[in-house]
Amino acid sequence: MDHDEILCWLLENDPLRLEMLWRAADLTRRLEVGDAVHLRGLIEVSNVCQRSCAYCGIAACAPKVERYRMTREDILECADRALEYGFGTVVMQAGEDPGITGPWMAEIIATLKQRTGLAITLSLGERSEDDLKAWRNAGADRYLLRFETTDDELYRRIHPPVGSSSSSSASDRIRQLERMRDLGYEIGTGVMVGIPGQTWETLTQDILAFRHYDMDMIGIGPYLPSPGTPLDGTLGETLRGEAGARQVPNDSLTTLKAVALTRLVCPRTNIPSTTALATADPSQGRANGLSRGANVIMPNLTQPRYRELYQIYPGKAGLHETADITVGRIREQIRLLGRTTGQGPGSSPRGKELS
Ligand code: 5AD
């Protein structure tokens, strides 16, 4: 698929034509990665963040956020739950928290690996080369860092540098993704659909970039405005104004088109049906993602007392649930779709091919 075909499909609104897109994506998913849905237990380790990404509800600049950082024991307890549920992977996610030091996290990774044998995915923002190396050596397998947009100017406007404007603190996620690939991580990335300033052409380029960088995992969710953030205020209005009629809407349908096209463009990649999609459409979002290209779900195992404080956007699906409820519902959705639950780590099918 080339640029023009992707763009054309993104703009397609004829239900019969779209049915062809959904079928092609679902068939490709089945042939290339099979019927198994891999479950990854999500642990929201800390909502402390030093960055001020313009869309994020736990950004450093976000107002009135009560901050927490889990203890080592809290984290290990969540990981034990993942093992009990039979998951093959845990994902440790946090804001870009300087209190998560290299050595502290390395020790947790090593202990967790030794105790559970689970695959370990990190999603801890932009970190130093030393931290990334130490964590890889301690046993981390994968790293998620969404590049959010291929439009350099838009990227800069929604990702201000940390602290002063010194260049060393400028945000550069693509560079870190390349470094992580060199360190032997499986790498995951993704974008939000419908951020102010995102045009149809930008989203097309984003999907082409997934292929260009040959990503192992690609997460795509709708942008959900977070009250009090710059992107929900004047910056958002300005960017939307600049995009004009080319602005991409942040709805479920457009997100599903992006998911389906990503499956066609990167047939063997792992694609989650995201929590943001489930939030935008609580009754059908998760299932629609799975039947239009996705093959991964990341059930939230964070203890309820922390979950409520990890609101990168409001009303996140499963906010007030226990892990038992979340996992039970997800298993039922998988069953109803006639799919199976993945066994083992669910490593990158792309990676297996290369090794
Ligand atoms: N709406 C939707 N997704 C968001 N993320 C952050 N803020 C929002 C929001 N307001 C996504 C970003 C980030 C991931 C962890 O969550 O893509 O990389």
User: What does the pLDDT look like over 324-350, one tens digit per residue?
Assistant: 999 999 999 999 999 999 988 888 887
Q: Residue 166 domain-assigned?
A: no
Calculate how far, in angstroms, residue 56's C-alpha sits from the geometric centre of ligand 1. Answer: 6
Given a cut of 70, whether residue 168 has pLDDT beyond it is no
Please tell me the total count of domains within the chain: 1
pLDDT-based confidence at residue 69 (cuts at 50, 70, 90): very high
How close are the terminal C-alpha atoms of the chain, in Å? 26
Query: Is the pLDDT at 301 greater than 80, yes or no?
Result: yes
- Can you tell me which atom of ligand 1 is nearest the CA of 224? 1
Report the chain's mean pLDDT, rounded to a whole number: 95
CB distance 279 to ligand 1 below 6 Å: no
Residue 278 backbone phi and psi in degrees, to 5: -70, -30
313 CA closest ligand 1 atom index:
10
According to the model, what pLDDT value does residue 351 have? Answer: 65
| Predicted local distance difference test score (pLDDT) of residue 343 | 86
The model's pTM: 0.96
Q: Is the pLDDT of residue 300 over 70?
A: yes
pLDDT tens string 315-326: 898 888 888 999
CB 260 within 8 A of CB 293: yes
CB atoms within 10 A of CB 241: 11
- Residue 352 within a domain: no
Q: Is residue 81 part of a domain?
A: yes
Mean pLDDT over 31-36 rounds to 97
For residue 57, tell me if it sits in a domain. yes
Report the percent of the chain where pLDDT is more than 90: 89
On the question of pLDDT at 165 being above 70, the answer is no
What's the domain range around 319? 3-161+171-341
- For ligand 1, whether the C-beta of 144 sits within 6 Å is no
Ligand 1 atom nearest residue 225's Cα: 10
Residue 78 CB–ligand 1 contact under 6 Å: no
Q: Which among 93, 313, 316 is the best mutation to test ligand 1's pocket, defined by most ligand atoms within 8 Å of the CB?
A: 313
Query: Quick one: which atom of ligand 1 is closest to the CA of 123?
Result: 15
Return the pLDDT at 319.
Answer: 86
CATH of the domain at 319: 3.20.20.70
Q: Is residue 354 part of a domain?
A: no
Q: Which DSSP letter does residue 199 get?
A: B
